[in-house]
Amino acid sequence: MSSETKQILTTDGIPLEVSLKKAERKNKIKAFLLVAPLLFFLIITYVFPIGDMLFRSVDDKMVTQMLPKTFKAMETWDGQELPDEEVFAAFHEDFIKLVEDKREGKLSTQLNYTKNGFKSIIKKLRRKSKTFEEGNYKEQIMSVHKRWADVEYWRAIKRRAPEFTSQKYLKGMDMYVNEEGKIVSVEEDRRIHRVLWLRTLEIAFFVTVFCFLMAYPIAHLLATLPMKYSNLLMICVLLPFWTSLLVRTASWMILLQQQGIVNDFFVGIGLVADDNRPEMMYNKTGSYVAMTQILLPFMVLPLYSVMKTISPSLMRAGKSLGGTPFVAFWKVYFPLTIPGIGAGCLLVFILAIGYYITPALVGGASGTLISNQIAFHMKSTLDWSFASAMGLMLLSGVLVIYWLYNKIVGIDNIKLG
Amino acid sequence: MALPKYTEPHYRIWHYIYLTICAAVFFFLIAPLFVIFPLSFNAEEFLSFSDGMKSLDPDAFSLRWYKDMIYGTKNPWGLAAKNSFIIAIFATIGSVILGTVAALGLSSRHMPYKGLIMAVLISPMIVPLIISGVAIFFFMAKAGLAATHTGIVLAHIILGTPFVVITVTATLSGFDHSVTRAAASLGSDPVNTFMKITLPLILPGVISGGLFAFVTSFDEVVVVLFLAGLENTTIPIQMWTGLREQLSPTILAVATCLIILSTLILVTAELLRRRSERLRGINR
């Protein structure tokens, strides 16, 4: 509104525009205050802790804090030849302090992550350091073990000087920083994480494909049948949907075991010999079968809700215009269901890629996914920073898909039940 | 789905193939659940059908495992069931209150940054459970709430609210806001309007969101695995432990009870959905 036009005033004498803006702002604040409790609750208990994971995954202050003087002295060292006396003296000072606090074990564990062989030489140094005389620490430390006289080990210590590290992320991709400071892959036969990532993607992809192939026909049937039949059949989809995940996994464990019903059936129809029953559980097959059945409802429901909106007269029109039923289906019906396909596939893929319980129970060693590895590091090796790093790598993948989902389907269009 | 009389034979064949495929998929979906029923009445300790069961010999069936579930020595199920119900009920109440209030705000057309905030509120449903588990564990450990009921309830509120937000927002999308304005013009304060006008109208959505939150909490195992101590064991934790160590028929008895429970929940949810559809139909 240009300033020359006469402003419209409310009865209080305030310009209408100002008054409206005020009311608008009040409404905005009101709406926000309603959302605020949940939003702040989630930010504190959920969003910040995920940020905390990010911090933990790159945090490498431990060694920095254990060897403060050493790193200070090392600042001027170029790393070409053995460091001079000043560094050795500082290291000795730090080390004595660590021994007093009984923390030298932690240092050896940490340094061993960077380079193998630190454990024993630190143990040796602790024993010998009690008899050290003052001065000329370089000679004394080097005489403890020949590795202390090896410049490689001092370079390894220097690599731990920064407070932050990407080491855990590299480890998650089976890579590490070598002596020259270059990023290289570990040997072929030790690349366990890459295998896991690929397997996770592979299983998630095929489970999505299987779910799609199985869900499409039944969603179509449910959408085209008269209400009274389709409601009945819908129970077959919804009952598993509402049933405990563990119950469904348990039933697959019963079905797929070697003396189980599926194997009995195969023996019964003569497909396999009784003494040669195939192993269908504790491997990939188990993961595939159980995950497909468990995630199937998540594919059926979005497909169904889209198909329900497609008018049957469209197919009739297609046929009446000379298309065979197949052509009519392919050219008319199928394109209309693509939003449902997108929604269902993304949903199933997101759920499958982070699956934990079912693969852990029926997947055995060859059917476990990246989630299982994260849980393993959380509960068994207690390498929480590594678990955090892998979790965030998985999360970033999921967020990309989530963003796609939001673009294609819109997050407020998720329908449940 | 009767075919018209003029259908050509090969389409007829195709149609029957299609129906067979559908039947097979439905069978694949539902049959595994029904395996558990008969086996939970097995008189023996095996997890496959004994010859007696196949010939329907009454002696082959017994309530042995149900008795074991309820009276068994060192029985973990009683404590687990109690914990599960307590945690699920409090988590549901928390999720429903926080979720419904947030959904009211989100449905207001004045809400700023709607998309972004919605994405944050829904995220616990999208982020893989294992990551949520790790993050929530870090928080609870810092807050001193690990291995407490409170900690698990809070964790389940986090996981349950997205469902309430989604269902209630969906119900509110068909909500006629002029009724609340009418109430306000008649002198009702906002709280009164909400309790007397809005809540009864959106109740089906609130309850079905609550059911989702309840089931989510009642069935949740990943996060509890990180958080629970021995005292906070729940039914899913016990099942998880049982399934990892040894599949005992007692687990099948528990599973049967859980299937019955989920059937009840399904029926309730379906009735609510129909009621809500009917109500909205009248609104139009």
Structurally, chain A folds into a number of domains equal to 2
User: CA angle, B282 as apex, B279 and B284 as ends, to 5°?
Assistant: 115
- pLDDT for A1: 46
In this structure, are A378 and A233 located in the same domain?
A: yes
The last residue of a domain, from among A163, A183, A206 = A163
Domain coverage including residue A74: 61-163
Cβ proximity of A70 and A157 under 8 Å = yes
Q: For chain A, what percent of residues have pLDDT higher than 70?
A: 96
Structure tokens at B219: 């069935």
pLDDT class of A49 with cuts at 50, 70, 90: very high
In this structure, are A91 and A210 located in the same domain?
A: no
Contact state of B48 with A261 under an 8 Å Cβ cutoff: yes
Please write down the long-range contacts of B150-153, taking CB distance under 8 Å and 24 or more positions apart: B151/B227, B152/B87, B152/B91, B152/B223, B152/B224, B152/B227, B152/B228, B152/B232, B152/B234, B153/B87, B153/B90, B153/B91, B153/B94
Other CB atoms closer than 10 Å to residue A112's CB: what's the count? 15
- Count, residues in chain B: 284
Q: Which residue has the higher pLDDT, B45 or B96?
A: B96
pLDDT value at B283 more than 50: no
- pLDDT for A417: 44
Q: What is the mean pLDDT of chain B?
A: 86
- pLDDT for A410: 66
pLDDT value at A416 more than 70: no
Of the candidates A75, A104, A91, the residue with the CA atom closest to the CA atom of residue A140: A91
State mean pLDDT over A45-59: 90
- pLDDT for B97: 95
Q: DSSP string of B109-161? A: TT-TTHHHHHHHHHHHHHS-HHHHHHHHHHHHHHHT-TTSHHHHHHHHHHHHH
In this structure, are A270 and A395 located in the same domain?
A: yes
In this structure, are A125 and A264 located in the same domain?
A: no
Quick check: ipTM above 0.90?
no
Cβ contacts of A244 on chain B, cutoff 8 Å: 218-219, 236, 239, 255, 258, 262
Interface test with A, best of B29, B258, B259 (most A CBs within 10 A): B29
Residue A277 maps to a domain: yes
In this structure, are A245 and A290 located in the same domain?
A: yes
Structure tokens at A154: 């001092």
User: CA angle, A24 as apex, A20 and A28 as ends, to 5°?
Assistant: 170
- pLDDT for B281: 60
In this structure, are A207 and A140 located in the same domain?
A: no
Other CB atoms closer than 10 Å to residue B219's CB: what's the count? 21
- pLDDT for A174: 84
| DSSP-based three-state secondary structure for B233 | coil
pLDDT value at B133 more than 50: yes
Cβ contacts of B108 on chain A, cutoff 8 Å: 27, 30-31, 34
In this structure, are A401 and A274 located in the same domain?
A: yes
What's the pLDDT tens digit per position in A166-187? Answer: 888 888 888 887 767 778 888 8
pLDDT value at A379 more than 80: yes
B225: Cα within 13 Å, side-chain hemisphere = 24
Question: What is the spatial distance between Cα A19 and Cα A25, in angstroms, rounded to a whole number?
Answer: 10
Contact state of B104 with A34 under an 8 Å Cβ cutoff: yes
φ/ψ (deg, to 5) at A9: -110, 145
State mean pLDDT over B183-200: 89
Taking only residues 21 to 80 of chain A, the set having a beta carbon closer than 8 angstroms to any beta carbon of chain B reads 24, 27-28, 30-39, 41-50, 52-53, 56
Q: Which residue has the higher pLDDT, B162 or B9?
A: B162
pLDDT value at B68 more than 80: no
In this structure, are A218 and A286 located in the same domain?
A: yes
- pLDDT for A148: 84
Cβ contacts of A237 on chain B, cutoff 8 Å: 29
Residue A42 maps to a domain: no
φ/ψ (deg, to 5) at A99: -65, -40
pLDDT value at B284 more than 50: no
DSSP A176: E
Residue linked to tokens 């911090």: A55
Question: What is the spatial distance between Cα B258 and Cα B239, in angstroms, rounded to a whole number?
Answer: 11
The last residue of a domain, from among A163, A178, A200 = A163
In this structure, are A149 and A215 located in the same domain?
A: no
In this structure, are A148 and A246 located in the same domain?
A: no
**Nearest C-alpha of chain B: how many angstroms from A190?**
25
pLDDT class of B210 with cuts at 50, 70, 90: very high
pTM of the full structure: 0.84
Q: Which CATH class is domain B92-283?
A: mainly alpha
Cβ proximity of A222 and A300 under 8 Å = yes
The last residue of a domain, from among A143, A163, A183 = A163
Question: What is the spatial distance between Cα B228 and Cα A32, in angstroms, rounded to a whole number?
Answer: 35
In this structure, are A214 and A150 located in the same domain?
A: no
Question: What is the spatial distance between Cα B14 and Cα A108, in angstroms, rounded to a whole number?
Answer: 70
pLDDT class of A4 with cuts at 50, 70, 90: low
Cβ contacts of B252 on chain A, cutoff 8 Å: 250, 254
- pLDDT for A41: 95
Structure tokens at B106: 């989100």
Contact state of B108 with A27 under an 8 Å Cβ cutoff: yes
Q: DSSP string of A296-356? A: HHHHHHHHHHHHTTS-HHHHHHHHHTT--HHHHIIIIIHHHHHHHHHHHHHHHHHHHHT--
pLDDT value at A102 more than 60: yes
State mean pLDDT over B39-61: 74
- pLDDT for A414: 56
- pLDDT for A48: 94
In this structure, are A237 and A132 located in the same domain?
A: no
pLDDT class of B1 with cuts at 50, 70, 90: low
Looking up residue A390, the CATH number of its domain turns out to be: 1.10.3720.10
- Where along chain B do its domains lie? 92-283
Structure tokens at A259: 């003396």
pLDDT value at A125 more than 60: yes
State mean pLDDT over B121-140: 92
Alpha-carbon Rg for chain A, nearest whole angstrom, is: 32
